[in-house]
A and B are shown apart, each in its own frame.
Chain A
Amino acid sequence: MASTPWLSLVIWVPILFGVLVLATGSDRNARLARWVALVGAVAGFLASIPLYTQFNVQTAGMQFTELHPWIEALHVNYHLGVDGISVLFILLTSFTTVVVVAAGWKVIEKRVAQYMAAFLIMSGLMNGVFASLDAILFYVFWEAMLIPMFLVIGVWGGPNRVYAAVKFFLYTLLGSLLMLVAFIYLYQRSGGSFDILDYQQLPLGLEAQVLIFLAFFMAFAVKVPMWPVHTWLPDAHVEAPTGGSVVLAAIMLKLGAYGFLRFCLPIAPDASHLLSGFMITLSLIAVVYIGLVALVQGDMKKLIAYSSISHMGFVTLGIFLFNRFGTEGALVQMISHGFVSGALFLCVGVLYDRLHSRQINDYGGVVNRMPLFATLFMLFAMANSGLPATSGFVGEFMVIMGSMKVNFWYSAAAATTLIFGAAYTLWMYKRVIFGKITNPRVEGLSDLSTREFLILGSLAVVVLAMGVYPLPFTEVMHSSVANLLSHVAQSKLKGA
C-alpha cells in the first residue's frame, strides 16, 4: 500500500470527476451531475484519509512523496509530498468539498454541472498547492485554482458579482506575479533547481532574503488576507454563493498562511526574524481593527468575512512568534477556522436560501421558527467567540500563550479578541436569532431539512471533538514544526 500514490489521487480524482460532471452537460441531467459530483467528492475525501492514518508522526521529512520529471529541460518536476504542516489541509480541503457539494444540492438550479465541476476541480487544485514540492508545479496549481473561484463568484454570485470577481482576481494575481519573480531568482541562485526543499537549504545574503521575503509577502499577505490588503475579501464573500464563501474561508485563506510557513520562514529565516515585528504589528492590527469593523457590519456575510480576517490575524501572529505554541497554534487555528467559518457561512446560507436576504435587520426571532438551526448556529457562534471545548478556543489559546512568551503586550492585544470576537458574533446572533418576530416573512421559516442538519451536524461534531480533544490534531504537527523552528533559528548569513 505504501506505493499507492495517495497524493496524486487526492489531486486528480476530484479533477477527473469534475471533468466527468462537466460531461453530463445541460441542466436536464442535473440530478446525474449532482450524484456524480457527490461520488467524486466522497472518493476524494476517502483518498485523503490514508494520508492521516498512515502518517508517520515521528519524522519531520516529506511523506507520500512522488517524483517524476515533467519539463526536463528546465528541471521542472512533478514532485509531491506532505509533512506535518500540510497534511491536515488536504484532509480539510477534501472534507470541505463534500460539504460544499452537499450544500449546493438543492440551492443551485442553474448550470448545476458547471457549478459542481468548478468545486471538484478547485478541490484537486488546492490539494495540489498543499502537496507540491516543486516551485513551478506549485505556481501552476496556485494560479489555476483562481480560475474556478473566479467563475464561481462571477457566474453564480450576487448582483455586484463582476466587480467582486475582478477585484478578487486582480488582487491575488498581482500578488502572485512577484512570487514568480522570486522563484526565477531562486532558480538562478540554486543553479537551476525548482525544488522547494533545495531552496530551504540555499544560503542567501540578508538583502536577497529581504527581497525574496517581500516578493512572497505580496503573494501570501493578499491571500491570508492581512491588513491592509484585505478589502477584496468582504466583497468576494458577499457576492459569492454559499459554497464559494465556504471554500474561500475554509481553505483559500489558509494557502497564504501556508505559504509563509513553507517559503518565507525556511527560505528567508533572517529576513523573517528581521521583519517579524512588522508582521506581528500587521497581525495585531488585523485582530483589533478588523474586530471593531466587524462590529458595525449590517450584512451577515460581511461580518463573518471581517471575522475571518481577524481570526487569520491570529494565524499570522502565531507564525511570526517562532515558538511551538505560536506555530502549532497558528496551524490549529487555521484548521479550526476552516470548520467554524465554513459552518457560519453555511448557516447564513440556510437563512439566505429561505429569505434571500443577508441583512441582519431583516431577521430577528428566528429561534421561534427554527430551534434546531438556532442551536447549531449557537454552537458555531460560540466557537467563533473562542469558547473552550470548541475548536475555536484551541488555536487562540495557544497563540495567546505563545505571544506571552515573546511580549506581554502582543498577548494583551491579541486577547482583546475575547471581547471583540464575542461582541460582534453574539450581537449578530442576538439580533438574528433571539427576540420577537418582527418581519412577517420570518414567520414562515421552516427549520433545517435532514440534508442541512446532516451537513451542519457533522461540522458541529468536528468542532466539538477538536475542542475537547485536540491532541490527535496537534500530534501530527510536532516533528515538522520542531524541525521548521530549528531551521528558522539558524542564520543563513554565515554561509552566504
Chain B
Amino acid sequence: MTTMQMLYLWVPLSPLIGAAVAGLLGHWISRRLAHSVTILGVAFSFVASLVIFLDVLAGHTYNGTVYTWLVAGATPLHIGFLIDRLSALMMVVVTFVSLMVHVYTIGYMHDDPGYKRFFSYISLFTFAMLMLVMANNFLQLFFGWEGVGLVSYLLIGFWYTRPSAIYANLKAFLVNRVGDLGFLLGVALVLRQFGTLDYSAVFAQVPAATHVAVTLFPGHPWMLLTVISLLLFVGAMGKSAQFPLHVWLPDSMEGPTPISALIHAATMVTAGIFMVARMSPIFEWSDTALSVVMVIGGITALFMAFLGVIQNDIKRVVAYSTLSQLGYMTAALGASAYSAAIFHLMTHAFFKALLFLAAGSVIMAMHHEQDMRKMGGLRKYMPITYGTALIGSLALAGIPPFAGFFSKDAIIEAIGHSTLPGAGFAHFAVLSGVFVTALYTFRMLFMTFHGSPRMDEHTRAHLKESPWVVWVPLVALAVPAFASGFLFVQPMLYGNYFGSAIMVQAPHAWAAQMGEAFQAHGGTLGAIAQGFFSAPLWLALAGIGTAWFLYLKRTDLPARIKDRFSLIYAILEHKYGFDEFNDWFFAGGARRLGGVLWRWGDVRVIDGFFVNGVARMVALSARFTRRLQSGLISHYAFAMIIGVAALIWFAKG
C-alpha cells in the first residue's frame, strides 16, 4: 500500500476512531478528552483531505479496492475508494464543515449532559459521510447513505425525552427509507443488467445498454436507463429532501443546532445531489429522467421558499431555505449543469452552515428562544454573529461578489438554456425563487438583528456575544461564504475542473456554452458586471427591499397582508397539507390496514375459522362418536348385523 493509499484509508478511519473512543469509552474519559480526540480525528481528516485534493489536482486519481465484502456466485462486492476531482472536493467540504461544527459544539453543547455522546455521533457521521463520497461502488454508497441516515436519526432524537424530537427522528428515518426503497431497487436493476456494482465497470457498459428496454407494466416497455435513473433519483429525493419527500427536513430541526448545520444543511442532505452528479454517465442517457429531476427541483426550489417567508422560528426559516436551495441544485442536475450543482453545493455548504451556526449563536444568547418575534436589535449585542450572519445572508440572496451569486446565477442560466420538457417551468421557478429567497433571508436578518428589541428584560440584560469557540467557526465559515465564489468560479465552473468525473452529452452541454460566454465577457469581474444587467440580481435586490419595507419600515403591513390573504396564509401555515395527508393516509392507513389484517386475517379467519375450527370439528365429532359407545350389548349387536349385511352386499356387487 502506498503512502497516499494509507492516507485515503485514514481519512474516514480517524473520525471513526474518535467516535468509538468518545462513544464506547464515554463512561471512563473526561469531556475534554472526548472532544479533543474527536476534533483531532476530524482535523486530521481535513488536513489529509487537503493533501489528497492537491494530489488529485496534480493528476493523481485512484480507484481501488480496500477489501472484498462478499462474493455471491461470480459477483464480488467490494469496499473501495474512488478518489477523483469530485470526491476530493466533497472530502474537503465535508471535513472542513465538520471540523468547524466540532469546535462550535464545545460552546453550544457546553451544558448538555449528552456532551460526549454528541461528539461521538458527529464524528460517526463524518465517517459515514466520507465513506459515502469516497465510494467506488454502489454498495458502499448505500452503506454511507444509510449510515448518515442512522446518525441523522440519532441526532434528531438527541434530546430523547422531547416528544417532538422522537416523533421527528422516526419520521425522518421512515421518509428516508421510502427513498432508499427506490434507490435499492435502482441498484438491484444495475446489478441485474451489468453484473457488477463498481462504478467504472458499470459506466463503461452503460453506452451499450442504451437500447435495452424493460417492461414493468405489460405493453409498456421503458428504457432501462430511464428506469434506473428514476429509481436512483427517488433515493436522492429522500436524502436531499425533494418534493414530495421533503417533509422530514423541517421537523429535523428538533435536533441540536450544530447538527442542523452539519447534517441537515451542509453535508448529508447534499448526498442526493452528489449521487446524481456521480451517476451522470447514467442520467445523461435519459432525457425523461433529467426532465423529471429538473421539474422536481423547480417545484422544491420555489414552493419551499414560500414557506420560509411565514416561519417565525429562526431555525425553520433556514431549514426551508435549505429545502429551496437543494431544489436549485436538483434543478441544475436536471439541466445537466452538474458542475454548477456541485459548485452551489459547496458554496451553500459554507454559507448555510454559517447561517445555521449564527442562528445557533443567537439561540444560545436568547436562552434557547427560537421565535424571531421575541428578538430584534441583536446586532448591538452580538456584532460578530451579526457580521457573519450578514455575509451568509448576502451570499444566500445571491448578491455579488458573495459566493452564492456565482453559483446560483450559473444554475439559473443553465436551466434557461435547457431545452428539455419542463425547463420553462423550472426556469420560471428558480428565477422567481430568487426574489422569495432574498425576501425570507432578509426578513430573518431584520427581525433578528435590526429594529427594536422585543425580548423580555431578563434575557436582554444577559445578552452577550458568544464565546470564541462559537464565533471562531463563524468567522472561519464566513471567509469561504464570501470568497469561494469569485475565487473558484473560473476554475471549477468554467475551467472543466471535473473533467472525466462528470459526463455530459453533447446536446446537453449548455454549461460549456456558458463557459465560452464567461471567458468572452471578461471572466469573473465581467460576470459581476454582467450581473447588473440580468434579472436575478434585480430580483434579489427587490426581495431585500421588500423585506426592508415590510419588516423595518412599515412593520404594520405584514399583519394586514396576512389578514387580507388569509387563505394563502393558511395553506402556507399547513405546509400545503402534506403532513396531515401523510399522517392520515400513509401512517394511519398502514396501521388501519395492519389492524384489519391482524384482527380479521389472523385472529378470525386463520385462527378462528381454520385452526380452532378444526379443533371444534374434532370435539363435535367426538361428541357424536362418543354416543355410539353406549356400552349396551344390543346396540353393538345391531351395528354388527348392519355391518355384516353391508359386507355381504359389497361381496355380491
Q: Which residues of A contact B (CB under 8 A)?
A: 167, 171, 228, 231-232, 289, 292-297, 323-325, 328-329, 365, 367-368, 382, 387-389, 393-394, 397-398, 400-401, 403-405, 408-409, 411-412, 415-416, 418-420, 422-423, 426-427, 430, 433-436, 469-471, 474-475, 478, 482
Determine if A328 and B72 form an interchain contact, defined as CB atoms under 8 angstroms apart. Answer: yes
Determine the residue in chain A with the shortest Cβ distance to B176. A422
Determine if A231 and B602 form an interchain contact, defined as CB atoms under 8 angstroms apart. Answer: yes
Q: What is the distance, in angstroms, from B144's C-beta to the closest C-beta of chain A?
A: 9
> What 10 pairs across the A-B complex have the smallest Cβ distances?
A324-B73, A404-B188, A292-B594, A296-B594, A295-B594, A434-B166, A293-B598, A434-B160, A388-B143, A388-B146
Residues of B contacting A: mostly = helix
* Other-chain residue from B142, B150, B595 in contact with A296 (beta carbon distance below 8 A): B595
Q: Is B3 an interface residue (CB 8 A)?
A: no
Q: What is the distance, in angstroms, from A312's C-beta to the closest C-beta of chain B?
A: 16
- Chain B contacts of A367 at CB under 8 A? 160
The stretch from B63-71, B95-103, B392-400, B416-424 touching chain A is B63-71
Q: A423-B590, A435-B166 are in contact. Are A400 and B161 (CB under 8 A)?
A: no
Determine if A295 and B184 form an interchain contact, defined as CB atoms under 8 angstroms apart. Answer: no
Determine if B192 and A475 form an interchain contact, defined as CB atoms under 8 angstroms apart. Answer: no
Q: A295-B594, A296-B595 are in contact. Are A401 and B170 (CB under 8 A)?
A: no
- Chain B contacts of A404 at CB under 8 A? 185, 188-189, 191-192
Q: What is the distance, in angstroms, from B476's C-beta to the closest C-beta of chain A?
A: 32
Q: Is B198 an interface residue (CB 8 A)?
A: no
Determine if A474 and B189 form an interchain contact, defined as CB atoms under 8 angstroms apart. Answer: no
Q: Is B526 an interface residue (CB 8 A)?
A: no
- Chain B contacts of A292 at CB under 8 A? 590, 593-594, 597
Determine the residue in chain B with the shortest Cβ distance to A389. B143
Q: A388-B147, A415-B181, A471-B69 are in contact. Are A426 and B170 (CB under 8 A)?
A: yes
Q: A296-B591, A382-B150, A404-B185 are in contact. Are A394 and B174 (CB under 8 A)?
A: no
Determine if A423 and B174 form an interchain contact, defined as CB atoms under 8 angstroms apart. Answer: yes
Determine the residue in chain B with the shortest Cβ distance to A326. B72
Determine the residue in chain B with the shortest Cβ distance to A228. B606
| CA–CA, A208 and B438, complex, Å | 76
Q: A289-B601, A388-B143 are in contact. Are A415 and B594 (CB under 8 A)?
A: no
Q: Is B178 an interface residue (CB 8 A)?
A: yes
Determine the residue in chain B with the shortest Cβ distance to A424. B594
| CA–CA, A40 and B572, complex, Å | 67
Q: Is B213 an interface residue (CB 8 A)?
A: no
Number of interface residues of B (CB under 8 A): 49
* Other-chain residue from B75, B142, B597 in contact with A293 (beta carbon distance below 8 A): B597
Q: Is B561 an interface residue (CB 8 A)?
A: no
Given contacts A412-B181, A427-B170, 16 further A-B contacts (CB under 8 A): A293-B602, A323-B73, A397-B184, A400-B188, A405-B192, A411-B188, A415-B181, A415-B188, A418-B177, A419-B178, A426-B174, A435-B166, A436-B161, A469-B67, A470-B70, A471-B69
13 contacts between A and B (CB under 8 A): A228-B606, A231-B602, A232-B611, A289-B597, A289-B601, A295-B591, A324-B75, A325-B72, A389-B143, A398-B72, A403-B188, A422-B174, A471-B71
Q: Is B607 an interface residue (CB 8 A)?
A: yes
Determine the residue in chain A with the shortest Cβ distance to B188. A404
- Chain A contacts of B216 at CB under 8 A? 408-409
Determine if A365 and B161 form an interchain contact, defined as CB atoms under 8 angstroms apart. Answer: yes
Q: What is the distance, in angstroms, from B189's C-beta to the closest C-beta of chain A?
A: 6
Of listed A324, A408, A469, residue having the most chain B CB within 10 A: A408
Determine if A419 and B170 form an interchain contact, defined as CB atoms under 8 angstroms apart. Answer: no
| CA–CA, A442 and B146, complex, Å | 32
- Chain A contacts of B75 at CB under 8 A? 324-325
Q: Is B653 an interface residue (CB 8 A)?
A: no
Q: Is B214 an interface residue (CB 8 A)?
A: yes
| CA–CA, A382 and B75, complex, Å | 27
Determine if B178 and A471 form an interchain contact, defined as CB atoms under 8 angstroms apart. Answer: no
| CA–CA, A60 and B107, complex, Å | 61
- Chain A contacts of B69 at CB under 8 A? 469-471
- Chain B contacts of A393 at CB under 8 A? 146
- Chain A contacts of B153 at CB under 8 A? 426
- Chain B contacts of A382 at CB under 8 A? 150
Interface of chain B residues 69 through 94 with chain A (CB within 8 A): 69-75
- Chain A contacts of B67 at CB under 8 A? 469
Determine the residue in chain A with the shortest Cβ distance to B23. A375
- Chain A contacts of B386 at CB under 8 A? none
Q: Is B180 an interface residue (CB 8 A)?
A: yes
B164-196 interface code vs A (CB 8 A; 1 in, 0 out): 001000100110011011001101110110000
Q: Is B157 an interface residue (CB 8 A)?
A: yes
B192-226 interface code vs A (CB 8 A; 1 in, 0 out): 10000000000000000000001010000000000
- Chain B contacts of A365 at CB under 8 A? 161
| CA–CA, A416 and B147, complex, Å | 19
| CA–CA, A427 and B163, complex, Å | 13
- Chain B contacts of A398 at CB under 8 A? 70, 72
Q: A418-B177, A419-B178, A434-B160 are in contact. Are A401 and B188 (CB under 8 A)?
A: yes
- Chain B contacts of A470 at CB under 8 A? 69-70
* Other-chain residue from A231, A368, A408, A419 in contact with B177 (beta carbon distance below 8 A): A419
Determine if A415 and B174 form an interchain contact, defined as CB atoms under 8 angstroms apart. Answer: no
Determine if A408 and B70 form an interchain contact, defined as CB atoms under 8 angstroms apart. Answer: no
- Chain A contacts of B180 at CB under 8 A? 418
Determine the residue in chain B with the shortest Cβ distance to A293. B598
Determine if B594 and A434 form an interchain contact, defined as CB atoms under 8 angstroms apart. Answer: no
- Chain B contacts of A478 at CB under 8 A? 71, 73
Determine if A471 and B68 form an interchain contact, defined as CB atoms under 8 angstroms apart. Answer: yes
- Chain A contacts of B192 at CB under 8 A? 401, 404-405
- Chain B contacts of A328 at CB under 8 A? 72-73
Determine if B147 and A474 form an interchain contact, defined as CB atoms under 8 angstroms apart. Answer: no
* Other-chain residue from B146, B181, B606 in contact with A387 (beta carbon distance below 8 A): B146
B601-612 interface code vs A (CB 8 A; 1 in, 0 out): 110001100110
